[in-house]
Amino acid sequence: MKTLLHLWVIIIFITTSACSQTTTETEEASPLQSKLGNSLQGPIQKPTSGYGSDGSYQVAEINFTNPQYTATQVSIFYPQGITSPRPTIFFSHPFGGEDKDYNIELYNFIAKKGYVVVFVPYRTIDISVNHRYQTLWEGFTKAAADYPNIIDTQKVGFMGHSFGGGASIDLAYKAFTEKGWGQYGRFLFTMAPWYSFNWNSPLSTQEQLQNFPSNTKMITQVYDEDDFNDHRMAIDIFKNINIPNAEKDFIYIKSSTVNGYNYVTDHAMPSSRTTFDALDYYGVYRLLDAMMDYSFNGNSNAKNTALGNGSAAQITMPSYNGQSMTPLEVTDNPVPKYLQAKYQFKCGDTTNPRVSYCN
């Protein structure tokens, strides 16, 4: 009961209205334009060049009925006019984020840069964690099977926020090892992850972590003002996953005040539903952009931004009228900054299947 109550709290925090989507199956590509225009909230605007700047592609979208959640649709966002499949991000949303509008600007950003992203809604209040994982998995695999002219499964990233961040570990492992996805490029990008479970696997999560393919790369992010998900969950996975330190970075993002505007690093970050500002672009999109270039295109210069181990290119945040946003903190040996009592979902809670790995 305690966990369910906390779940409702996090849902209310993330989204203030019930999410609903059409059940009509649509398999014709149609241009999708940004709903927020080109301006960001706050004084600092989008980068105009380099990593994090918008790409040149128009965005197209395909929707089809979600196999395990038929009242909703799976959405594929991709560069309009492509003639061959493109590297693809499989995105797992947070609790309460089942409306694609919650992170529509992220999907637009990925597609504008020339890549594909697949979004699969799952029920926030569902029969089990396993069924949420199954919903994500079946949506991802159906998208890949039905649209091979758009989705290149040889180069893939698994990206997720909160529940989706925790789920991305198991789902990525299954895709990499059972499906062979990511043979020529693969990465994980987790943000403020919740507990990590393993679904329909003979291996424990720890066994999965110790056997990730050697070409896997990883960024893990946590946010200073997040008081929902204990950072120890992110630290646990980061430290136990068998990825060399040279190919993974743990990134800690702090809040800033610039020209009277507060850039807040709470659990709703990143999102384009309520607050959409420079934290989204410079803290998340910029690093994702570089990670895609490094992982999918083999651009070694991109590594200095994506996985720079604290390089200036990686940690430097923008400024306005001489006031700078707080630089990113990057480490290969993260430690908790706060007591577990700060968080709604503590690493030491019995709900966590990896409670014995909490620091």
Distance of CA 84 to the CA centre of its chain: 25
The predicted structure's pLDDT at residue 36:
52
Cα 22 to Cα 66, 69, 99, 119, distances in angstroms: 11, 12, 11, 15
3-state helix, strand and coil shares in percent for the chain, rounded to the nearest 5: 30, 20, 45
CATH number at residue 127: 3.40.50.1820
pLDDT score for 60: 99
Range of the domain at 38: 2-357
d(CA 314, CA 1): 42
pLDDT at residue 273, as a whole number:
74
pLDDT for the residue 37: 60
Q: What is the pLDDT, as a whole number, of residue 271?
A: 83
Q: Residues 6 or more apart from 58 whose CB is under 8 A from it?
A: 31, 79, 80, 81, 112
**Region of 260 on the Ramachandran plot (φ > 0 left; ψ -120 to 50 alpha; else beta):** left
The pair of structure tokens assigned to 276 is 């959409």
Into how many domains does the chain fold? Answer: 1
Q: Do residues 248 and 218 lie in contact, with contact meaning Cβ atoms separated by under 8 Å?
A: yes
How do the pLDDT tens digits run along the chain, 359 residues long? 444 444 444 444 444 333 333 333 454 444 444 555 678 999 999 999 999 999 999 999 999 999 999 999 999 999 999 999 999 999 999 999 999 999 999 999 999 999 999 999 999 888 999 999 999 999 999 999 999 999 999 999 999 999 999 999 999 999 999 999 999 999 999 999 999 999 999 999 999 999 999 999 999 999 999 999 999 999 999 999 999 999 999 999 999 999 999 999 999 999 877 789 999 999 999 999 999 999 999 999 999 999 999 999 999 999 999 999 999 999 999 999 999 999 999 999 999 999 999 97
Considering only the C-alpha atoms of the chain, give the largest distance between any 2 of them, rounded to a whole number of Å.
56
Amino acid (1-letter code) at residue 291: M
DSSP string of 183-203, one letter each residue: TT-EEEEEES-------S-SS
